[in-house]
Homo-oligomer: A and B are copies of this chain.
């Protein structure tokens, strides 16, 4: 063994973040049950024993991973609360921001985890619903309701309109996460968002004749 290279270093502050990051990668790839703590430890550059200095159990670590990914989604509510911006502009801003967020936060992988493990970890599904999905959908619905009052868009259940707006983005994310890795053609999310924006905004516009 080299003299100058210590077997390991003590870095109590840096560890938790690194571990969660490594765990995220492994959980995202394998799912909860098939993920091995040895793998996570190896990827984090430590031993399995060290994991237990920072997390009580495997479940604990999993919860930390999924909860970690919750945080950064709150700012979209403020955008949607803006009341001076015309609705279509607002919507394009929100859609564009979604696109960026998906790119940088690996939101697709988290979605896969939450969806796939929702029966085994119902409390995580609940957290994600309450903190992320329901909030975003609520803010969007509110914005839609206001736009209806102002006559900017057609009347209708705002909650269902929100599905029409968000659904295709979710589908795009799932496509990329599920089918592109097994050989399906890649999907340009920016393009999808832009094209879908055209379609759905036209669809929500007042007086646009319904076909037939």
Contacts and interface: CB of A to CB of B under 8 A. Distances in A.
Nearest to A92: B212
A204 interface: yes
A83 to B, nearest CB: 17
Interface extent on A, as a size class?
Answer: 35 or more
Nearest to A109: B119
16 contacts: A31-B33, A32-B33, A89-B212, A112-B116, A115-B116, A118-B178, A118-B181, A119-B181, A125-B178, A129-B184, A163-B168, A166-B171, A199-B204, A200-B200, A201-B210, A203-B204
A127 to B, nearest CB: 9
B202 A160 contact: no
A186 to B, nearest CB: 12
Interface in A165-212: 166-172, 174, 177-179, 181-184, 191-192, 195-196, 198-205, 208-212
A154 to B, nearest CB: 8
Contacts of A198: 156, 203, 210
Nearest to A166: B171
Contacts of A87: 211
B195 A160 contact: yes
A209 B199 contact: no
Interface string A27-43: 00111111000000000
A105 interface: no
Number of copies: 2
Interface of A: 29-34, 86-89, 112, 114-120, 122-123, 125-126, 129, 133-134, 152-154, 156-157, 160-161, 163-164, 166-172, 174, 177-179, 181-184, 191-192, 195-196, 198-205, 208-212
Nearest to A183: B126
A120 B211 contact: no
A133 B179 contact: yes
A163 B172 contact: yes
Given A179-B133, A211-B202, A117 B86 contact: no
